[in-house]
Structure 1
């Protein structure tokens, strides 16, 4: 097993490395090997922070010992998630693994060719496409901005292509209209059964492919109190305790935009300028609005004069409003910062570690509140007269 296996533990080669190592997961768990603690951290950070990177730093680590623990932590983490017995836990874990993987892929692709031989092992985009059986479905854009047999069109100075074409079938499987109007097939460039994507949009689609693979087979059907499940019982109990502390007993149930966290205000203002939100930005905003008690209809009305479309809003908010989806809060400020969404304006991370907690504190400290819903209802009644 090598660093690349541990870096991308859902790759086929990584699974083969685990099998060839002939290491018994039950024995590792019983011995409380380093991989077990790393697995628990992996799941905790996935569910609470939207990443599986270790708090001690980003992978790859320097030693083979850490590489082994990192790789083996992945199958153990999948067992832990299964034992949580929660569909939203599976979804959130898969999303965090995918987000972390694509961040690593971006870093790999940005590595200069001259540095590849001396740096940690990296993957090329072609490697990722082969891994997900997409090599025949995705190809660089040809000159003329449409599929053809002419030479590949690349960005200046011979850099990697700026756009790609993907077969419509994989496109529909890996993307969602809920990501924004531009992702709807009717709004895409389509020719000869292929859809045009920017390089960054292709990475968004690959993130969905990673999440899809991570979700495969989860949750495992494990008998509680027996075998490996019994050995992991204390770790599962600790994860459930942490989740209960971070879960909200109920929505704040007041909509006061003037008290919103700066990051949410910035996203709303960006959408009001008719700028399209990225999938992480859209999810963060929808999760926040649902978290403060807004219904899908209210979110649609609230975002009526923005770049967000009603169909995409309903898709996301109805899922988040489902009993399955309200169990966990939106991403923390740290995670939002990693996505470039939170900029810690006025050092607000010292007030609270996540947007809902920040808003809850501001609402509690406010002397007088005007609920947007009351104003909206009054406006609707006026227009109806």
Structure 2
């Protein structure tokens, strides 16, 4: 097994190398603790740090940790875990191939262990779609639209790019971003999948660890869009009660305030939203929200997990997605990910929240 395959385990050649070695994953997870440990680290680091951690010194362990990590992600079966894992694998790969592309002499004696730009273009069927320019590259518009679809920011919009003869002009760094997206798509493809019981049973402890990490994680740090119709049913119900002027218990007030804070709403916006509720005095609401976001307390509080919502009786109107999600923010994140662009109309834009809009764009 080559070190190249261990560094880029998503390559078709890496998969073929594992198949050629007739590796039995059931036997691996049962007998090779180093592989299982590295796979666990791979996923845990993806969830918490956005990378897959430091590579193992042994090539075999590093390479086999990739398919075992995919097994773990499938067993956890949480959208946020799958998304973060695929993104982390892609981000790590980009760091590696960027460094290797820039190397001119160091790898000359070991060319077979170094990945080239053309290798990745061929791997993802982009060799005929990417063309060198005097500076940067021209990319066929179809390939560009497919790989740039997930990128945020005006600079990725086609109308803001030079376009000629069906090709889009991009810089070298932009091409690296598109390759990262191709890798992310490859990693995410097929996840989650059904895992045989004989393998799943061996990984119960690791799966439980990952679920605990997800339960403790602040899943809200990247979300800054307020689309009420995509809120999880529990939060829609609490918000509806607020707006009808109904009384909420302390734990319910905390849950909806923490949720709204977590999705990027400012204290002023939340105070305005709750103004119609007689039970929410402005001073008390402002104090509670500032306390939750950590402005007036040493702790920044996150939205309660589904298990907590259930224990307090705030989990209501469960739908099919609720059955697969363990955190209200995981629900909301998946709804946003699955939505079409024209569905993502921020409540603040509709209600004159210019400052909030500027903050969200930052």
Q: Could you say whether these structures have the same fold, taking a TM-score greater than 0.5 normalized by the shorter chain as the test? A: yes
1:239 to 207, 210, 235: 210
- Tell me the equivalent position of 1:228: 199
Give 1:11-160 correspondences, 5 Å limit: 11-54=11-54, 59=55, 66-117=58-109, 121-141=113-133, 153=134
What's the offset of the Cα at 1:379? 9.4
Q: Report the count of equivalent residues.
A: 246
What's the offset of the Cα at 1:91? 1.1
Confirm or deny that 1:197 pairs with 2:197.
Answer: no
- Tell me the equivalent position of 1:2: 2
- Tell me the equivalent position of 2:185: 212
- Tell me the equivalent position of 1:350: none
Offset from partner CA, 1:230-288 (integer Å, 9 cap, x none): 1111110011112212246xx7xxxxxxxxxxxxxxxxxxxxxxxxxxxxxxxx7xx16
Q: Taking structure 1 as reference, are residues 202 and 378 closer, same or farther at Cα in structure 2, changes over 3 Å only?
A: closer
Structure 2: give runs of 5+ residues left out of the alignment: 229-258, 264-291, 300-347, 356-362
Q: Following superposition, which runs of at least 4 residues in structure 1 exceed 6 angstroms of deviation? A: 376-380
Give 1:219-368 correspondences, 5 Å limit: 219-222=192-195, 226-247=197-218, 287=222, 289=224, 295=226, 360-365=293-298
Q: Taking structure 1 as reference, are residues 289 and 136 closer, same or farther at Cα in structure 2, changes over 3 Å only?
A: same
Q: Taking structure 1 as reference, are residues 217 and 42 closer, same or farther at Cα in structure 2, changes over 3 Å only?
A: same
What's the offset of the Cα at 1:33? 3.2
Does the CA-based 8 Å contact 1:177-1:184 persist in structure 2?
Answer: no
What's the offset of the Cα at 1:113? 2.7
What's the offset of the Cα at 1:31? 1.0
Q: Taking structure 1 as reference, are residues 97 and 114 closer, same or farther at Cα in structure 2, changes over 3 Å only?
A: closer
Root mean square deviation of aligned Cα: 3.0
- Normalization by structure 1: what TM-score? 0.58
Helix, strand or coil for the counterpart of 1:232?
helix
Q: Taking structure 1 as reference, are residues 189 and 377 closer, same or farther at Cα in structure 2, changes over 3 Å only?
A: closer
Does the CA-based 8 Å contact 1:138-1:167 persist in structure 2?
Answer: yes
Confirm or deny that 1:171 pairs with 2:171.
Answer: no
The whole-number CA distance in structure 2 between the counterparts of 1:236 and 1:105 is 30
